[in-house]
């Protein structure tokens, strides 16, 4: 037996020709205001049940491709007698008595003439309630010539179709950074929406509306393997590893849509403001892994924020399959329209060269591919020179799957000042505590400090003090204070550097050392690589320890 939630088409021979009849399952409607949980009102088996709030309306949407006669009937029941509902269509309201019955009964609502094609809304309301509930509804039946080739979503999944912009890049590109800007227009930000700016083959990065009071910046990276639901079933060798996160950022694992490492920062982003996103990739071909790091720019602070850095196993590849999307992740308000502008996309390759991305092509998810929802669109906004995506709202589509869009180049590549980051003060305090704890535990020793850098002279030199303007020739070894990991060192031959080109910690510490001398330097992250994911062995916000022997210094 066919379940009532399936699309039922009845064709009957009548005088003068054929009339089509369809039933719209009641569980595909929307409550205004929305219910708290998807199972509260709409049920796959029973349709609309438990409707008790007279201030709450129920709406159904459908697209008519033909004009003509339209007859509206409703299958309804209630345990209490004398309840009445009102059905509104095309600006007219029709009163309906709800049958006092334990089984659904067909009640005629109205017969109208449709003169225009397009999306239509049928709204059910109740001025009064007698008994515990207003009415249970099984389905809406539509008959008449206007019903021919009607479209409506017959499935219980009420989410709007997710829509994507894919950014073509050459297969040979060694992309180590992907930058994007996102603006959400006013009124296009209903709850249960994720606007994803920087998507890539192993993860995604964007902003989300989680509730009426909470918004988030979200960065996640998928595990390796094929487990789709339970992360406890993923082998440790396939699990993404968290390397670092920003202050106040929540990080954990996730499941049910693939599995992986999740991070989010609760942040009250606003409509009408433009937000910048940057994701970087550091490849490690030996370990067959890639470190992905997400950075978010807070415009009111004019500073970057580290969200998180994850090490993805079974990878070792550069950023690839770049895209953005709009997602409606809860169906209780899938009838609302969402929109986002995506502008000024750039990639940086391994050689340091930045390239602007000015092309994108449109696609959608399985809900769009199945034809369940046809209200979506994309294009280029001429005022902002940005791509845009919209989904939901039951408006006609303005694009098609695979359509290619080309925007004008801006030439404004991202200029990133890593020294200006949101968590610098908090991180400086964390670094000092780590350094003092290491000193107290006898892991390191210091005899002096200079502008935040801690040092110990291990050997007095006989030459002149190093100058900030010198090119120094040194033997050195660098390690992490956190776990002693050695990330870099000279071996048989010394290395030469202009001191001004090195990290701030070296510039501050080496001038206290004489040529021929040896010094140990402990450098807080703010005077080292700050929030940058500098290499596969130096996570963001790392306190560094260097042992440096100065062989020579040339002016």
Beta bridge partners of 30: 59
Identify the CATH number of the domain in which residue 548 sits. Answer: 3.10.50.40
Strands (E), 135-273: 135-144, 163-166, 175-183, 193-199, 203-209, 215-222, 241-245, 250-254, 260-266
What confidence score (pLDDT) does residue 45 get? 86
Residue at 468 is within a domain: yes
Please say whether the beta carbons of 310 and 292 come within 8 A. yes
SS3 content of the chain, % helix, strand, coil (to 5): 10, 50, 40
pLDDT in tens, 240-284: 999 999 999 999 999 988 999 999 999 999 999 999 999 999 999
| Gyration radius (Cα) of the chain, Å | 31
Q: Are 49 and 171 in a shared domain?
A: no
Residue at 419 is within a domain: no
Residue at 413 is within a domain: no
Residue with tokens 């660098």: 478
Q: Are 200 and 272 in a shared domain?
A: yes
Q: Are 119 and 92 in a shared domain?
A: yes
Going by C-alpha positions, the residue among 10, 47, 14 that lies closest to residue 147 is 10
Write the burial class of residue 314 (CB in 10 Å: 0-12 exposed, 13-18 middle, 19+ buried). Answer: middle
pLDDT in tens, 272-320: 999 999 999 999 988 999 999 999 999 999 999 999 999 999 999 999 9
What confidence score (pLDDT) does residue 420 get? 82
Identify the CATH number of the domain in which residue 332 sits. Answer: 2.60.120
Residue 465 scores a pLDDT above 70:
yes
pLDDT in tens, 327-337: 999 999 999 99
Q: What gap in Å lies between CA 62 and CA 152, rounded to an integer?
A: 5
What confidence score (pLDDT) does residue 19 get? 58
pLDDT in tens, 419-448: 889 999 999 999 999 999 999 998 898 888
Q: Are 473 and 393 in a shared domain?
A: no
How many domains are contained in the chain?
3
Q: Are 402 and 430 in a shared domain?
A: no
Q: Which domain holds residue 525?
A: 424-554
pLDDT in tens, 181-196: 999 999 999 999 999 9
Per-residue pLDDT, averaged over 39-64, amounts to 93
User: What is the number of other CB atoms lying within 10 angstroms of the CB of residue 273?
Assistant: 12
Residue at 1 is within a domain: no
Per-residue pLDDT, averaged over 481-491, amounts to 94
Helix (H) or strand (E) holding 307: strand 303-313
In the structure encoding, which two tokens stand for residue 532, read together? Answer: 């940058």
Q: Are 387 and 497 in a shared domain?
A: no
Number of H helices, E strands in the chain: 3, 37
Residue 15 scores a pLDDT above 90:
no
Q: In what order do the strands lie in the sheet with 203-209?
A: 250-254, 260-266, 215-222, 203-209, 193-199, 323-328, 163-166, 359-364, 404-406
Q: Are 215 and 305 in a shared domain?
A: yes
Helix (H) or strand (E) holding 368: helix 366-369
pLDDT in tens, 52-85: 999 999 999 999 999 999 999 999 999 988 899 9
Q: Are 258 and 386 in a shared domain?
A: yes
Average pLDDT along the chain? 93
Q: Are 456 and 525 in a shared domain?
A: yes
Please say whether the beta carbons of 185 and 271 come within 8 A. yes
């Amino acid at each position: 037996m066919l379940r009532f939630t399936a699309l039922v088409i009845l064709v009957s021979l009548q005088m003068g020709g054929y009339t089509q009849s369809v039933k719209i399952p009641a569980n595909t409607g929307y409550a205004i205001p929305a219910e708290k949980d998807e199972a509260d009102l709409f049920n796959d088996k029973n349709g609309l049940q438990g409707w008790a709030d007279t201030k709450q309306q129920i709406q159904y949407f459908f697209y008519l491709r033909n004009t003509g006669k339209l007859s509206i009937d409703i299958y309804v029941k209630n345990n209490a007698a004398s309840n009445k509902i009102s059905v509104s269509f095309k600006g007219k309201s029709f009163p309906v008595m709800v049958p006092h019955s334990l089984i659904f009964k067909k009640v005629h609502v109205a017969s109208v003439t449709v003169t225009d094609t397009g999306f239509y809304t049928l709204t059910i309301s109740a001025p009064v309630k007698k008994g515990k509930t207003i009415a249970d509804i099984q389905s809406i039946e539509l008959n008449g010539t206007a019903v021919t080739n009607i479209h409506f979503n017959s499935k219980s999944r009420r989410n709007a179709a997710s829509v994507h912009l894919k950014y073509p890049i050459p297969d040979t590109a060694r992309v180590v950074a992907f930058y994007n800007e996102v603006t959400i227009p006013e009124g296009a930000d209903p709850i249960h929406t994720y606007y994803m700016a920087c998507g890539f083959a192993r993860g995604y990065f964007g902003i989300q509306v989680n509730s009426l009071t909470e918004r988030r910046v979200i960065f996640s990276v998928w595990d390796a393997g094929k487990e789709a639901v339970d992360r406890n079933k993923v082998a440790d060798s396939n699990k993404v590893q968290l390397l670092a996160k920003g202050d106040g950022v929540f990080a954990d694992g996730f499941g049910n849509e693939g599995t992986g490492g999740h991070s989010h920062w609760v942040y009250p982003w606003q409509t009408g403001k433009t937000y910048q996103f940057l994701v970087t990739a550091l490849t490690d071909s030996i370990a067959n892994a890639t470190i992905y790091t997400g950075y978010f720019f807070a415009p009111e602070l004019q500073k970057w924020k580290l969200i998180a850095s994850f090490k993805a196993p079974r990878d070792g590849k550069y950023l690839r399959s770049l895209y953005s999307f709009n997602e409606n992740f809860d169906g209780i308000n899938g009838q609302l329209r969402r929109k986002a502008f995506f502008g000024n996309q750039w990639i940086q390759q391994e050689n340091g060269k930045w390239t602007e991305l000015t092309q994108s092509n449109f696609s959608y998810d399985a809900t769009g591919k199945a034809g369940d929802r046809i209200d979506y669109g994309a294009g280029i906004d001429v005022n902002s020179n940005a791509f845009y995506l919209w989904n939901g709202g039951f408006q006609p589509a303005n694009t098609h799957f695979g359509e290619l869009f080309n925007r004008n180049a801006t030439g404004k590549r991202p200029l990133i000042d890593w020294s200006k980051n949101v968590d610098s003060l908090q991180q400086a305090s964390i670094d000092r505590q780590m350094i003092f704890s290491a000193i107290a535990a006898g892991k390191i020793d210091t005899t002096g400090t200079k502008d935040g850098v801690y040092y110990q002279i291990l050997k007095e030199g006989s030459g002149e003090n190093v100058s900030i303007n010198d090119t120094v020739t040194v033997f050195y070894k660098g390690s992490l204070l956190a776990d002693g990991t050695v990330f870099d060192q000279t071996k048989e031959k010394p290395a030469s550097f202009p001191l001004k080109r090195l990290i701030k910690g070296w510039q501050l510490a080496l001038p206290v050392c004489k040529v021929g001398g040896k010094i140990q330097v402990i450098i807080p992250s703010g005077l080292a690589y700050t929030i940058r994911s500098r290499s596969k062995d130096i996570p963001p916000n790392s306190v560094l320890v260097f042992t440096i022997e100065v062989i020579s210094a040339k002016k």
